[in-house]
Structure 1
Amino acid sequence: MTSAVADIQANKQAGPLIVHVVRQFLPNKGGLEDVVANLCRQLVSRGYRVRVVTCNSLFSDPGRHLPESETIDGIEIVRIPWSGSSRYPLAPKVFRHLADADLIHVHAIDFFFDALAWGKLLHGRPMVATTHGGFFHTQKYAAIKKVWFNTATRLSALGYASLICCSQSDARLFSQIADSRVHLIENGADVSKFSNCAALEARRRVVTIGRFSINKRLDHLLDVMKVLAARHDDWHLDIVGAESDLDRATMEKEIAARNLARNVALHVSIDEGSIRNIIARASLFASASEYEGFGLVAIEAMSAGLLPVLNVNEAYKAMAETHPALMLADFADPEAAADALTEAFERLEADDLSLRQELLRDARAYAWNEVAQRYMDVYAETLTPRGKSPQLLRQRGQAA
């Protein structure tokens, strides 16, 4: 038997090949990248073959090209050149890496979402997409976005068997253009890496985690810390993340301008063990973010036993409807947000750990093994011929 024939037979016996298409992936760190990476790891562990097609440089460092191909954690990664905006990166070479896919899974509503839908006659593969918040994160260009959504996005959506929404707000929005093809699968989270590691006693210490992006509104959070520090000098904020729209020097200037050097610490691109040590000294989590696709980091904070105080964006409001322990505040109003963080501290101070147990229990519902199974069910339905049962395909994908 020739090697080529042997490879073909081996692939037939292996699980389906799912090709994930996403604008940024490992080694970049962020909510979107973490979701795709965790889903891919779960699929690999269950016998699926997985390929990720992504851009060949990080948007935070576009001049440094990453390797064209690489394997990380059993995930085949193919990187392709791109041009244009980081919000809508043009990367037509994606079509070169789809021919052997059993199913294509597109992540986010961007060039890839549109191009692969309009180019379906070229690749001929069944497709699903995960919305990851769409593009209505801010009110900027709201009128143009609405027109685009109801025309271009509506037409592109016709190319997908399912649109998977990772929040209730996404599901309500995309149901307007995809109706019964919308599936709600809230994002998974790695609820083990920081599990139950927050301080057991109430402390006036706050952690925020995320890339240093303008939309995270770290300036608003620093304004809130200035109010808190004036009220009680033991309030402390740890800012954990990686450089993005904002760099370390800019953040240090923002901290110094508010005379917060004693109350705020900046931690740039540190490892998980170091983050865990920071969380172990804290009781509260805060996010002043203007928008989130889902709010993954808030779930990770809950899994640690931190009580989250979150800005009133759409994703966080939807999350608070499901998890009443979470607290919302308008971080554009420093006094009001400072009041909310003070109230959160007082709740923990008066608590007998039942609030902590509620947070831990709520976080466990987002464990990736549960979430991955929901994705596999969608894959099975998409790949099953009409009138047949998807059960055999599920078993094939689960066979290691």
Structure 2
Amino acid sequence: MRIALVSEHANPLAAVGGVDTGGQNVHVAGLSAALAALGHEVTVYTRRAAGEEPPVVRMAPGVTVEHVPAGPPEPLPKDELLPYMPAFAAHLARRWRAVRPDVAHAHFWMSGLATLAAAEELRIPVVQTFHALGTVKQRWQGTADTSPPGRVAVERDIGRRAAAVIATCTDEVKELAAMDVPVERITVVPCGVDLDLFHPGPLDVPVLHHAGGDGRTGADGVARILSIGRLVPRKGVETIIEALAHVPGAHLTIAGGDPADEEFARLSRLAAASGLAERVRLVGSVARADVPALIRSARLVVTVPWYEPFGMVPVEAMACGVPVVASAVGGHLDTVSGCGVLTPPRRPRALARVLRDLLARPDLRASLAAAGLLRARSRYGWQKVAARTESVYRTMTGDHVDRLVAAGG
């Protein structure tokens, strides 16, 4: 099958950890490689964000990344890309007239807008994954939401026009149904995790943590807690710092972001003002290859965003055999429930109680770690995620009918 993945702002080749580079980049990279491993030919279309980017890059066997000229060849916040989507769509249409894909899978709402426009004339079936919904962002961020006006209405239209919608969690299905997206066209397929990279390997402690001991517990008996991800307010890192004030002796490593960013500076100031400067360390972005070792070096991984469309960090921690504390929102309700601890978002005192309890109970931590590892391996490996995604594609292209006929069904 010839598959087009459209990801207008999230380049699978980009380094993860910036304000607009995170789970979607990882998802598109992992999904494209896993689909290619199933024998498909995959092209990822993403916006050219630098003048030196070559038009086409071979990312992996069977996977090509094409940098689409749409807007200035420089980094732009994703919420400023809407005016360039007509040019993006025109490029897709030109390319697809020359080589028509069997299916186009759009990632994020602006990708959906461009993909539907380019696919209509050629009658290419379009599958949509939103990764985040404007209704949810608006609900939690209010006036701080920088989405273009009309985003929610456009998402509703995309959801109704797409041949199929892939939601990454069951909570998203409820949100889509409330937007009048036909439920019968929605399939839940989660994001995946690279089980070859994320696993409970040796305790190879990175130097990013405070010195001393084995990393999980320092020479002085200090427990290590890890927060990792993009540094934006809605990720809830502030809540973890505030909770730490009520968890005596524990140290927190915060990985992600850039020291030049305002959020990095704000969190540093908060730690200092809370008297936690000696127990909180912000280390900035970490190379993807170094993330598993950093996760394994922690006693607990904590991720408590206000909202989370899926949340890859908990699944990566689970795959490394490290227990997880997460906010009871979005995708966490699927991934963490029953094999980690869920806590209300933006409730530092409640989080502190959970952290104190877990740090005092090694038996419970071990039980949660084992349950999380089992779940990550049984549900979230990329091979399984790609196979479920492929199944959705085949229902759109008619391949399932051809196979039934060939089998005499």
**TM-score grouping bracket, smaller chain normalisation:** 0.7 to 0.9
1:363 alignment partner in structure 2: 376
1:89 alignment partner in structure 2: 81
2:329 is the alignment partner of 1:313: yes
Query: 2:257 and 2:51 mapped to 1: Cα distance?
Result: 17
2:229 alignment partner in structure 1: 210
2:19 alignment partner in structure 1: none
User: Residues 173 and 225 of structure 1: is their aligned pair in 2 closer, same or farther, counting only changes over 3 Å?
Assistant: same
User: Residues 116 and 390 of structure 1: is their aligned pair in 2 closer, same or farther, counting only changes over 3 Å?
Assistant: farther
2:310 is the alignment partner of 1:294: yes
Query: 1:386 and 1:312 mapped to 2: Cα distance?
Result: 37
TM-score, normalization by structure 2: 0.78
What is the RMSD computed on CA atoms of the aligned residues?
3.2
The residue type paired with residue 356 of structure 2 is T
1:381 alignment partner in structure 2: 395
Q: CA deviation at 1:107?
A: 0.7
2:135 alignment partner in structure 1: 136
1:350 alignment partner in structure 2: 363
The residue type paired with residue 94 of structure 1 is F
1:239 alignment partner in structure 2: 254
User: Residues 102 and 236 of structure 1: is their aligned pair in 2 closer, same or farther, counting only changes over 3 Å?
Assistant: same
User: Residues 179 and 336 of structure 1: is their aligned pair in 2 closer, same or farther, counting only changes over 3 Å?
Assistant: closer
1:77 alignment partner in structure 2: 65
Q: Pick from 31, 35, 42: which aligns with 1:43?
A: 35
Q: CA deviation at 1:258?
A: 2.8
The residue type paired with residue 359 of structure 1 is G
The residue type paired with residue 4 of structure 2 is V
3-state SS of paired residue (1:114): helix
Provide Cα deviations, 1:46-66, integer angstroms capped at 9, x if missing partner: 221111111222xxxxx8764
Query: 2:329 and 2:368 mapped to 1: Cα distance?
Result: 23
Query: 1:88 and 1:172 mapped to 2: Cα distance?
Result: 28
Provide Cα deviations, 1:101-153, integer angstroms capped at 9, x if missing partner: 221110122x221233245434432211112232233314599x9x9688543
3-state SS of paired residue (2:162): coil
Q: Is the 8 A contact 2:323 2:365 kept in 1?
A: no
Length, aligned pairs only: 364
Query: 1:28 and 1:47 mapped to 2: Cα distance?
Result: 27
1:397 alignment partner in structure 2: none
- Same amino acid, percent of matched pairs: 22
Q: CA deviation at 1:277?
A: 3.4
2:6 alignment partner in structure 1: 21
TM-score, normalization by structure 1: 0.80
Query: 1:248 and 1:71 mapped to 2: Cα distance?
Result: 34
Provide Cα deviations, 1:60-115, integer angstroms capped at 9, x if missing partner: xxx87644332222432122333786136223233323412221110122x22123
2:220 alignment partner in structure 1: none
2:203 is the alignment partner of 1:188: no
Q: Is the 8 A contact 1:128 1:162 kept in 2?
A: yes
Q: Is the 8 A contact 2:233 2:263 kept in 1?
A: no
Q: CA deviation at 1:286?
A: 0.5
Which structure 1 residue ranges, 5 or more long, are not aligned?
Answer: 1-15, 58-62, 393-400
Query: 1:198 and 1:327 mapped to 2: Cα distance?
Result: 25
Provide Cα deviations, 1:339-381, integer angstroms capped at 9, x if missing partner: 111122233x234944322111011121111111111111122
Query: 1:112 and 1:73 mapped to 2: Cα distance?
Result: 22
Query: 1:183 and 1:372 mapped to 2: Cα distance?
Result: 13
3-state SS of paired residue (2:291): helix
